[in-house]
């Protein structure tokens, strides 16, 4: 896939379910940089079964390896100002730790080339 990123990081808070139709979840991850105090934060969006599994097995602090595609969008905030943002659409997610061993999911989930936009 063109323009695919791979990141390993930790969720900064529990993933949240958004939307009314198909399962959609949004979460942030923190990724360490080269220096000890260098951390970058990224917003991730997952769809369908992948989103279901992330909601079920991940929580704040969970370590994940994610292959994703960058996506920019524009929306209007409550003050009627345009906001430009970049989010990453999750293609695959490998759970590097889980809540407990009894709930262990398959190690890799993948969407079926789902592109919502």
Q: What domain range includes position 74? A: 5-105
In the numeric block, which tokens belong to residue 74? Answer: 């524009």
CATH number of the domain where residue 58 is located: 2.40.50.140
Report the pLDDT value the prediction gives residue 102, as an integer from 0 to 100.
46
Q: Is residue 113 assigned to a domain?
A: no
The count of structural domains within the chain is: 1
* Per-residue pLDDT tens digits for 47-82: 999 999 999 999 999 999 999 999 999 999 999 999
In a domain, residue 12? The reply is yes
Residue 111 within a domain:
no
14 domain-assigned: yes
In a domain, 110, yes or no: no
The pLDDT tens digits of the residues spanning 74-109 come to 999 999 999 999 999 999 999 998 555 445 544 444
């Amino acid at each position: 896939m063109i323009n695919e990123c791979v990141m390993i990081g930790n969720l900064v808070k529990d993933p949240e379910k958004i939307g009314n139709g198909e399962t959609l979840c949004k979460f942030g991850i923190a990724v360490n940089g080269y220096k000890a105090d260098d951390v970058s934060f990224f917003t991730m969006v997952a769809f369908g079964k992948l989103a279901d599994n992330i909601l079920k097995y991940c929580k704040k602090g969970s370590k994940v390896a994610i292959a994703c595609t960058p996506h920019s969008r524009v929306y209007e905030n409550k003050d009627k100002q345009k906001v430009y943002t970049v989010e990453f659409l999750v293609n695959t997610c490998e759970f590097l730790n889980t809540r407990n061993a009894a709930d262990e999911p398959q190690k890799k989930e993948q969407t079926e080339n789902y592109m919502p936009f």
